[in-house]
Amino acid sequence: MRSGKISGKILIVSDQKAEAESLLSQVAIDYPDVSVSYDPEHYVTEFERIKPDVLLLVFKSIENAQNYYLGLYRFGAAVQQHNHRTIVFCAKEQVKKAFELCRKQYFDDYVLFWPSPYDGSRLAMSIHVALRELKQSRELSANEHQLGDFVSKLTEFGQTLDQRLTQGGHQVESVAEQLARDGEHLGAAIENLLGRITHGSLENAVTIRDPQMLESELKALVSNEIGPLVESGRAAVEPLRLWARELQRESSVQLGQTQAFLRVLATSSRRILVVEDDEFSQKVVGRILEREGYDVVFAGSGTEALNLLRKVRPSLILMDYMLPDQDGVEIIRELKQMKEFAAIPIIMLTGQSSRDTVIRSLAAGAADFVAKPINSSVLLGKISKYAGI
């Protein structure tokens, strides 16, 4: 491999064996770890076995490439979990369609392949860019996971700290109250002793020549010595009680601010993925969200959404109930079964607010639903509730 190239596994998939093998020899010049797949019966198993970094789709038509890719999503699990990039090959008359599909992020890039000869250096550069973006994406994803773990640990630490400080505050209060009770008990004990002496209950043990003087001295002891001593103990505890309360308040504020900051970093800021095929609905939702400062990413189908999620990590997903290629409920169910996406809250957008629709959505893992036509305050309120952004 030439200097400066980023290494990676390349898989050439085609419905034309001769084209695939011819391209294999060319790509292998720059990228030696390259394989081919041209048997439809083994498309899914070969993808799952190889787990390519870059997928080259060399089909007779873009429609065939779309069908292949859709089949990977329908019949395999690896394509949804394995981060990769796709480059579709097209003929001159299909360049516009290839561009539109890449713009919608159904595929990542396209190369004009027919009629030959095509620009070979363009393909090499496309593969290089794809591998570079993939490397950056994986590094970012790893950082996001680390930040997410740190947020979780910080949250757990904050909860433990708050619990311990609360317990400490209660213990300080208990000590102060106990000192007060002990002082009262001691005073009562001395008063009781004085009563017994002055009333002759202890005449065989103690001879009192001047009961009034003894009473005066014992009262002075309680008032001048024991009372101030107990009060001094309570006063000594008071700064500790105030310190515990202030530490709890300050730590709560600081931890809250740190958690909020890290949560923003860990969840790709204020990004929301909207899975909606209707252009008018896209514009309505987009206008509402962008006005509030959200970073909005759109997908027009279930396959497009799953493909996008390999590249972006939204804070929340708005999922249309009816999509052209898949049921929105089924997509939610798939996402909730994937470890890397399971924690992303999903709100269902539906024009069917029937009880069955709501039950199916919630059972699949949706956090909530918003009925169409969309009320902006309701939508924004639920986004804030479930995504915390």
Per-residue pLDDT tens over the stretch 300-347: 888 888 888 877 888 899 999 888 888 899 999 988 988 778 889 999
pTM of the model: 0.56
Q: Which pLDDT belongs to residue 154?
A: 67
158 and 262 co-located in one domain: yes
Provide the 10 A C-beta neighbour count for residue 149.
Answer: 11
- DSSP bridge partners of 368: 347
168 in a domain, yes or no? yes
Helix axes 227-266, 120-198, angle to 10 degrees: 170
DSSP 2-44: -TTPPP--EEEEES-HHHHHHHHHHHTTT-SSEEEE--GGGHH
214 in a domain, yes or no? yes
Q: Which pLDDT belongs to residue 113?
A: 82
316 and 382 co-located in one domain: yes
278 and 369 co-located in one domain: yes
The whole-angstrom separation of Cα 99 and Cα 81 is: 25
The 8 Å CB, 24+ separation contacts for 355-364 are 357/321, 360/329, 361/321, 361/328, 361/329, 361/332, 364/329, 364/330, 364/332, 364/333, 364/336
76 in a domain, yes or no? yes
Residue 272 has pLDDT above 60, yes or no: yes
96 and 48 co-located in one domain: yes
134 in a domain, yes or no? no
> Of 237, 266, 295, which residue sits at a domain end?
266
Tell me the longest C-alpha to C-alpha distance in the chain: 129
> Of 251, 266, 281, which residue sits at a domain end?
266
277 in a domain, yes or no? yes
281 and 379 co-located in one domain: yes
Q: What are phi and psi of 105, to 5 degrees?
A: 65, 25
* Average pLDDT over every residue of 346-374: 87
| Rounded (5°) CA angle 313-315-317 | 90
Q: Which pLDDT belongs to residue 208?
A: 61
Q: Which pLDDT belongs to residue 257?
A: 66
The whole-angstrom separation of Cα 176 and Cα 219 is: 24
* Average pLDDT over every residue of 101-113: 87
DSSP 170-235: HHHHHHHHHHHHHHHHHHHHHHHHHHHHHTTTTTTT---S-HHHHHHHHHHHIIIIIHHHHHHHHH
Give the CATH number of the domain where residue 40 resides.
3.40.50.2300
232 and 297 co-located in one domain: no
* Average pLDDT over every residue of 202-215: 65
Q: Which residues contact 378 (CB under 8 A, 6 or more apart)?
A: 370
The conformation of residue 93, written as its DSSP 8-state character, comes to G
251 and 275 co-located in one domain: no
256 and 289 co-located in one domain: no
Q: Are 57 and 68 in contact (CB under 8 A)?
A: yes
> Of 71, 102, 118, which residue sits at a domain end?
118
124 in a domain, yes or no? no
353 and 366 co-located in one domain: yes
146 in a domain, yes or no? no
Amino acid letter for position 59: F
Residue 351 has pLDDT above 90, yes or no: no
Total domains present in the chain: 3
286 and 381 co-located in one domain: yes
67 in a domain, yes or no? yes
Q: Which pLDDT belongs to residue 120?
A: 63
The whole-angstrom separation of Cα 86 and Cα 62 is: 13
312 and 328 co-located in one domain: yes
23 and 51 co-located in one domain: yes
Distances (CA, A) of 368 to 114, 340, 386, 388: 48, 20, 9, 14
Domain that holds residue 244: 152-266
- Both tokens assigned to 198: 């002055």
